[in-house]
Amino acid sequence: MPGITHTLKTSFGVCLFMAAALVFPAAKQEVAAPKNPEWTLVITAADVSALAVSRQSIGDLINRSLVNALNTVNKRIRETGEYAYYEDYVWSKARSDAAKKLETKRADRDKLVYQGYPEWKYQKSLQTIDAEIEKLEADLAHTIEETPLIEERPIFKLSAASTQGTFPAAPKTGGEYQFCVKQNVDGFLRLVVSDLQGRTHLWIRLYTRAKAWEYEDSIIFSIEDTQTALSEVAARFVGAISGASPGALAIQTEPVDALILVDGAFASIGELSATEYPPGEIVIESYADNHTTFSTTLEINSGELADLFISLSPLALESLTLDTPEADAALYRGALYVGQTPFTLDMPFNQMEYFYMESDEGEAKAVVSGGVTDMVNIELKPFPDPEEKRVAQARQAFYNAFGRFWIALPIAVVFGAVAAAEVSAYNHLSVNNQDLYDRATRDHYISIGLWVVFGLTTAESIYRIFRYTHAAGEKIPQIIKSEEGITWDY
């Protein structure tokens, strides 16, 4: 029986322990959050001092292109060297803060002697401070022994100045670290733009607190390739700053002469071989004459190739002849010169096109909708004399007439009210007052005259506003619409 009793006691103890564990679960050990969870970059103003004044505006374009590219970056991967730097930085700061707190508390203990406390209060205060000092000493020892945990993939942020389009000047040599401290950032990007045999040379360098000058890149490009070059250099920098490998994009089009644009920048014609792009969304567009346009948003994944085939549908075409009977004129379709009038071209059916014609006799602008007719004659209007300034004169005449309108209106209202009051006063008097009658009669006729003047100013204002509208819209293109059964002759 003793063995059974011992077994029952043991089982009861185990059950009691399990029940206690369920009712009073062990406190979860708190895991300290990683330190330095953000990494901030400021973009400095591009140094364009080596360029001609007429070309220095490219610096702002470069700055804004980099801002747009870096807005897609979410994380930065820390390398070993940078991780060690921030680990040492956080540890040194924590140790310094703990030591300062301990030093301050010890100074408070020394000051107790001079407070003039009674013995009981002095002993009580001394006991309290000694306990606090003991705790701070333990905290300092723990800080010295403990290695801080640093965020390996901090959140990447652009500084508020860069986001708002304000770019500070880059620091002079030797002042890079203090510049980062003053701007409260972890690094800055320096840009230098110069001229190289008629082309533009862009040089970029990244300075970080951890590794000084960490990244460097350069590119040479012509004016017409500016956007493509900026996209290329931005893509490389985004890959370097984020630590993410780029993806690739390949495109083929039908027809083979279709224009390919990536994020609004020219990429290729007909075919784009595998080209690297930073991970994220990009906008792809394709255009070809007399074909439907194409636009889509595509996700580029790190380390993957996106292969895209674009087939543009041909539009229904019709033949249209444009002529200017007064004289042969240069014909432009949009901004593109196509030939001399009369000129026959294929035009998409039921689609509007802008045409501009110019000769020594004058000029004409027209928006023609497909399906109008086989032949459209457009009248050339003489070139306006620059000295006439018809729109400015018509606008000034309208302003003058409108001003006279607002002067005449209150005067007519006031005199009308005065004349009406005088006539009413004379009619209600029981005794005839010749002076009042004469004054009322005079003011009545003056009031009628003023209302006539007001009417004339009103008519003039209406005329002037129509004249101003006509002068301002005289050079607006004619809109030639499609309407069955009508022969168009302009």
pLDDT more than 90, % of the chain: 23
Q: How many domains does the chain have?
A: 3
Inform me whether the pLDDT recorded for 14 exceeds 50.
no
| End residue of a domain, out of 352, 377, 402 | 377
User: What's the pLDDT band for 20 if we cut at 50, 70, 90?
Assistant: very low
* Confidence at residue 179, expressed as pLDDT on a 0 to 100 scale: 93
- Is the pLDDT assigned to residue 487 strictly greater than 60? no
What is the residue type of 30? E
- Report, as an integer, the average pLDDT of 307-322: 87
Residue 298 lies in a domain: yes
Check pLDDT > 50 for residue 21.
no
Range of the domain at 339: 317-377
pLDDT tens column, 388-434: 677 788 888 889 988 988 998 899 898 888 888 888 887 877 567 77
Lowest mean pLDDT among 61-65, 208-212, 327-331: 208-212
Give yes or no: residues 277 and 321 share one domain: no
Instruction: Please write the tens of the pLDDT for every residue from 123-132.
Output: 888 889 889 9
Strand blocks (E) in 290-329: 294-300, 305-311, 317-323
Rg (CA), the chain: 42
Amino acid identity, residue 173?
Answer: T
- Is 60 exceeded by the pLDDT of residue 23? no
Residues 282, 310 share a domain: yes
Residue 13 covered by a domain = no
In a domain, 84, yes or no: no
Tell which of 275, 296, 314 closes a domain: 314
pLDDT in tens, 51-88: 988 888 899 999 998 998 888 788 887 777 777 888 88
Q: Are residues 360 and 429 in the same domain?
A: no
Q: Report DSSP state, residue 341.
A: S
The residues with which 282 forms a beta bridge, in sequence order, are 298
User: What is the per-residue pLDDT for 345?
Assistant: 82
- Give me the mean pLDDT over the 129-150 stretch: 86
> Domain with 268 in it: what CATH number?
2.60.40.1120
The single residue listed with the structure tokens 């993410």 is 244
pLDDT recorded at residue 309? 94
Q: What is d(CA 57, CA 323) in angstroms, rounded to the nearest whole number?
A: 42
278 and 310 share one domain: yes
pLDDT value at residue 7 = 42
> Of 294, 314, 334, which marks where a domain is finished?
314
Whether the per-residue pLDDT at 173 is higher than 50: the answer is: yes
- Residue 263 pLDDT exceeds 60: yes
pLDDT over 80 (residue 312)? yes
Co-location of 291 and 264 in the same domain: yes
Residue 32 confidence (pLDDT): 65
Per-residue pLDDT, 5: 43
pLDDT digits (tens, 9 = 90+) for 357-369: 888 888 888 888 7
Are 370 and 396 found together in one domain?
no
Confidence of residue 8 (pLDDT cuts 50, 70, 90): very low
Q: Burial-class residue 329 by CB neighbours within 10 Å (0-12, 13-18, 19+).
A: buried
**Does 395 share its domain with 460?**
yes
Confidence of residue 158 (pLDDT cuts 50, 70, 90): very high
406 in the same domain as 367: no
Per-residue pLDDT at 253: 94
Distances in Å between the Cα of 378 and the Cα atoms of 331, 353, 477 are: 11, 14, 11
- If asked whether residues 291 and 356 sit together in one domain, one would say no
* pLDDT at residue 203, as a whole number: 94
pLDDT-based confidence at 370, cuts 50/70/90?
low
pLDDT bracket for residue 227 (50, 70, 90): confident
User: What are the φ/ψ torsions at residue 397 (nearest 5 degrees)?
Assistant: -65, -40
| Phi–psi pair at 37, nearest 5 degrees | -80, 0
The rounded mean pLDDT for the chain is 82
113-117, 151-155, 475-479: lowest mean pLDDT where?
A: 475-479
Q: Is the pLDDT of residue 99 over 80?
A: yes
